[in-house]
Structure 1
Amino acid sequence: MPRTAILLGYAGLIPFVGLPVLALTGQLHYFQAYTYFVQYSAIILSFFGGMHYLDAIQNRRSNHQLYVSMLPSIVGWTSLVFLDGYLLLSVLSIAYIGMLMYDKYVLALEKDILLPYTFMRTMLTTIVVISHLFMASI
């Protein structure tokens, strides 16, 4: 996997880790930090659908993958519109875990890319879910 992709993946954690810390230390009001956090979370969740959209098109799949590729965006947006508090954080966390599991079993990447990608996604998703729990506990 390209080093840049790995660095960008881990750099994407900065808001997930930084916003709860800013709220906890009082440098950012909790409501602002929470709002920015869930908005960022929904946007990043949507990104994972794009992986499956591209995979389905490149590999000429007309199965469920193309439809599932739209779910992260729909779940992220409807969650932002209709949910709040712990429920919103919980739904987003579960969606991240669900996308990770779906990635592991459906993405048709070459082995030399799939294994490092899956490892990185597991690490990133673990930190993202812990960050959601941390935001909920503040």
Structure 2
Amino acid sequence: MPYSAVVLGLAGLIPFIFLPIAYVANLLSLTQSALYFIQYSGVLLSFFGGVHWWDAMKAQKFGTQMYVAMLPTIVGWLSLVFSHRVEVLGLLSLSYVGILMYDKFTLSLPKVQIVSYISLRIALTTVVVLSHAWMIYLIT
């Protein structure tokens, strides 16, 4: 895995970690922290659809993968529409796990690349899911 991918992946975790801390430290209200968290999570989730869109185009797989590539964007958009509901955090969290599993069985990368990519994604997704759980705990 390229060093830049690891660094950027880790940098992508900053809002997931900072926003709950910002509420606990009284830097943001709970409403602000939760709203910004959901907005960031929804936007970032849509990125993973782009990974599948690119993979389907590259491998000329114009069937199911092309359609599934749109799901993270739709879920991300719906999370913005319904950002006032705590259930959205659970949906986003499950979506990150779902797209990770779909990545593992669908992406057409060489075996060495897919192993390192999935290993990185498992680590990052674990932090993302735990952050969602933390935000749910703070809200309820």
TM-score, normalised via structure 2 length: 0.95
Residues in 2 aligned to 1:15 and 1:116: alpha-carbon distance in whole angstroms: 24
Distance change in 2, residues 1:27/1:82 (3 Å): closer
- Per-residue deviation, 1:54: 0.2
* Gap regions ≥5 residues in structure 1: none
Q: 1:123 maps to which residue?
A: 123
Please give the root-mean-square deviation of Cα atoms over the aligned residues, in Å. 1.0
CA distance in 2, matches of 1:6, 1:136: 27
SS at match of 1:108: coil
Structure 1 segments of 4+ aligned residues over 6 angstroms from their partners: none
SS at match of 2:86: helix
Q: Quote the offset at 1:83 in angstroms.
A: 5.2
The residue that corresponds to 1:15 in the other structure is 15
Q: Quote the Cα distance in structure 2 between the aligned partners of 1:20 and 1:82.
A: 19
Does residue 29 of the first structure (1) align with residue 29 of the second (2)?
Answer: yes
Post-superposition CA distance 1:23-46 (Å, at most 9, x none): 111111111111110000001100
Amino acid in the other structure paired with 1:75: V
Q: Which residue of 2 aligns with 1:75?
A: 75
Alignment-derived partner of residue 57 in structure 1: 57
Distance between the aligned counterparts of 1:4 and 1:80, measured in 2?
29
Task: Give yes or no for contact 2:35–2:84 (8 Å, CA) kept in 1.
Answer: no
Equivalent pairs counted in the alignment come to: 138
Among all aligned residue pairs of Structure 1 and Structure 2, give the percentage whose two residues are the same amino acid: 48
> Quick one: which amino acid aligns to residue 122 of structure 1?
I
1:137 is displaced (CA, Å) by 0.9
The one-letter code of the counterpart of 1:99 is I
Distance 2:30 2:7 in 1: 28
* Aligned equivalent of 1:4: 4
- Structure 2 spans left out of the alignment, 5+ residues: none
Instruction: Report what 2:46 is aligned to.
Output: 46
- Counterpart residue type for residue 59 of structure 1: A
2 CA distance for matches of 1:43 and 1:13?
13
